[in-house]
Amino acid sequence: MRSLPRFTPVAEHALLIELGAEIGDDTTRAVLSLDRALAGNPPEGLVEVVPALVNLLVEFDPVETDHEAMQAAITALLDHTTDHAPEVTTHEVAVCYDADLGPDLSAVAQAKGMSEEAVIAAHLAGDYRVGMYGFAPGYAYLTGLDPVIEVPRKQTAVRDVPAGSVIIAGPQCLVTTLKAPTGWSILGASPARILTGDPARPFLFNVGDHIRFTRVDRTAFEAMGGAPT
């Protein structure tokens, strides 16, 4: 098996650069550092860089460059990515775990042989980082969920899950931004407004930012703008 980073050509206009074998803080830092390095020193023909959890997709203009030249330029940057370590911000995100807002809390507790309060405590104790955006606008996929409450995706998705739902599946967590179906488990709801409405900064979080969940009761949740069900 080839060592990392691993470069894979995609069509005639892109390279996929794999920087880790699994999701984790070290891989996230490597992805974000290379993303910043490419932004600061764009190779000839670079069109767009799309960071993900363990890799980046680098799109280029095939009229100006090719896979070999782009790979060589990126390889030269890899030795200097520590010069482009991303700045991160820590955000506190409120969560209410009332039963109607977190309809899967009891099922997760039963599946893990824990009390509901123990599940909440484990969720609050997670060390969360924004790994990537995907699937829908503002869907920030968070790494760092405590393994003791990891549960698989449901076999059947639930329709019309409200915006603001705090959901988990596998090792990840996210706060939904629109009403949509999901197969993830719903632990609670947050009043946080991740879609800012600002074209210059459309999302509240940057990839790489840290998230700390804090518990609030129903009164505080609604006072902060959370929608009652």
- Taking 3-state DSSP, the helix, strand and coil percentages for the chain, each rounded to the nearest 5, stand at 25, 30, 40
Residue 1 has pLDDT above 50, yes or no: no
User: Could you tell me the residue ranges of all domains in the chain?
Assistant: 6-84, 90-223
Coil, strand or helix at 72: helix
CATH code of the domain occupying 90-223? 2.40.100.10
**Model confidence over 31-70: pLDDT tens digits?**
888 988 898 889 999 999 988 888 999 999 999 999 999 9
Q: What is the mean pLDDT of residues 87-103?
A: 94
For domain 6-84, say whether CATH 3.30.1360.40 is its number. Answer: yes
Q: What is the mean pLDDT of residues 150-154?
A: 96
Which of the four pLDDT bands, split at 50, 70 and 90, describes residue 84?
low
- Mean per-residue pLDDT of the chain: 91
**Model confidence over 165-211: pLDDT tens digits?**
999 999 999 999 999 999 999 999 999 999 999 988 899 998 889 99
In the numeric block, which tokens belong to residue 44?
Answer: 């000839």
Instruction: Note the pTM of the prediction, 2 decimals.
Output: 0.81
CA separation for the pair 10, 15 (Å, rounded): 5
Render 56-70 in DSSP notation, one character per residue.
EEEEE-TTT--HHHH
In the numeric block, which tokens belong to residue 23?
Answer: 């999701």
Which of the four pLDDT bands, split at 50, 70 and 90, describes residue 23?
confident
Sign of CA dihedral 119, 120, 126, 132: positive
